[in-house]
Amino acid sequence: MALTAIVCDASPARKALIREWCGLAGGRNLVTLLEVKDLHVSFPTADGLVQAVRGVSFDVEPGRTLGIVGESGSGKTVLTQTLLGLTPGAEVEGSAVFEGSDLLRLDEDELRHVRGEQISVIFQDPLTSLHPLYRIGWQISEMIRAHEKSVSKKEAADRSIELLRRVGIPKPETRVNDYPHQFSGGMRQRAMIAMALALHPKLIIADEPTTALDATVQAQILDLLLRLQQDSGTALIMITHDLGVVADIADDVMVMYAGRAAEKAPKRDVFYAPHHPYTKGLLESIPSSKAAGGRLKPIPGQPPSLINLPSGCKFHPRCGYVFDHCLSEEPVLHPVAERGAHTSACWLPANAAGLSAEAEELREQVVQAERGAEAAGVAAAALAELGVSGGEATAGETPADNEGSVA
């Protein structure tokens, strides 16, 4: 029996033991379900080449959840849609090996057998994903019968009703015959989740799946996805802006910025020992978070144009810890923790991770020693964009910290 199948059928405790064994077997994870290496995705346009994804690598194991977070325009959706051939016209390089097959090398017919049956996608906008002229139940049944030829129309219809019930649609026996326009935004999203779960896929890519749902239903959907993983070993890639969702469901987190991974780490390290200033900035913008310390600290500026990227570290125009090295050379991911599971693409020293006063003091010492006049000007410009007035800002300071700041 294949090792992947053994893990999928194992209990949670046994899965943990198998993963621990595989981590010691020559350093290579033998149960990796999806392995993406050095993925580049670009779009030629009249204005120039849009570098949407720039050299991203990650792994996903059965039964685990990878959370991908970042601002709009960071490349999260393009990254995952490229895996299933949903970015026509793109220039794609790299590899994405799923159960031994490189998804980027499959033809359209081969990809059709992967989509839905082995890898499902919950799209961000259900209104554009559901066909307006077909009933909800028919669309779910049609997908089931497209992949399972032996299933009758009645069996597919019964499964559609049960799926709608599982995701919290009231009176599914009746609502299964409704059209998409008769569903609310949240109900349409739940119908999309039902469709994604229909064929028990090995990997689900969820692109902001709970955006249109209220807090109660959001918790129900997250609980449903977690139960699915526990029952069948399904892997999940969760794309979200909500770090609260990541805290609830993710095992590992990849923070993306300007088409690249800024930081990758187990969930706990991201929330309690962030290294990259962008990760720290995202945490500081969460109300009542430990990182914010009681006051929200916005990240100055806007994400860069993916056609005209800045030199050096792409985050340096917005970074409160920018120094001279950041302006000239872009950092690559390097280990922050001893075991190498936590990596960060930042020139700050590896031990400058965390939210403690000691870590902040170390960051300030590095900036004071390495920041020249040009980098100081970049930091001042970023703060000026947010309306800071009065004295010179110190390393890492935002308008919320400056007594001369204005709203």
Collect all residues with Cβ–Cβ distance below 8 Å to 229 and sequence separation of at least 6. Answer: 63, 64, 65, 235, 236
> Residue 294 to residues 290, 361, 380: CA-CA distances in angstroms?
8, 20, 24
> Residue 39 to residues 78, 97, 259: CA-CA distances in angstroms?
11, 11, 10
User: What local confidence, expressed as pLDDT, does residue 358 receive?
Assistant: 92
160-205 pLDDT tens trace: 999 999 888 999 999 999 999 999 888 888 899 899 889 989 999 9
242-270 pLDDT tens trace: 887 888 889 999 999 999 999 999 999 99
pTM, whole model, 2 decimals? 0.84
- Look up residue 151 and give its DSSP letter: -
- Beta-bridge partners for 203: 119, 235
Distance CA 55, CA 347 (A): 18
Distance CA 253, CA 243 (A): 10
Residue 391 pLDDT level (bands cut at 50, 70, 90): very low
* In contact, 88 and 292? CB cutoff 8 Å: no
> Residue 245 to residues 209, 222, 255, 277, 342: CA-CA distances in angstroms?
10, 8, 14, 21, 20
User: What local confidence, expressed as pLDDT, does residue 378 receive?
Assistant: 80
Top-confidence residue, 284 or 276: 276
Q: 31: helix, coil or strand?
A: coil
134-170 pLDDT tens trace: 999 999 999 999 999 999 999 999 999 999 998 889 9
Class of domain 32-250: alpha beta
Residue 277 pLDDT level (bands cut at 50, 70, 90): very high
- 286: number of Cβ within 10 Å: 16
Residue 399 pLDDT level (bands cut at 50, 70, 90): very low
308-324 pLDDT tens trace: 999 999 999 999 899 99
Distance CA 338, CA 84 (A): 35
Domain boundaries, the chain: 32-250, 276-385
Mean pLDDT of all residues in 344-363? 92
78-131 pLDDT tens trace: 999 999 999 999 999 999 999 999 999 999 999 999 998 999 999 878 888 899
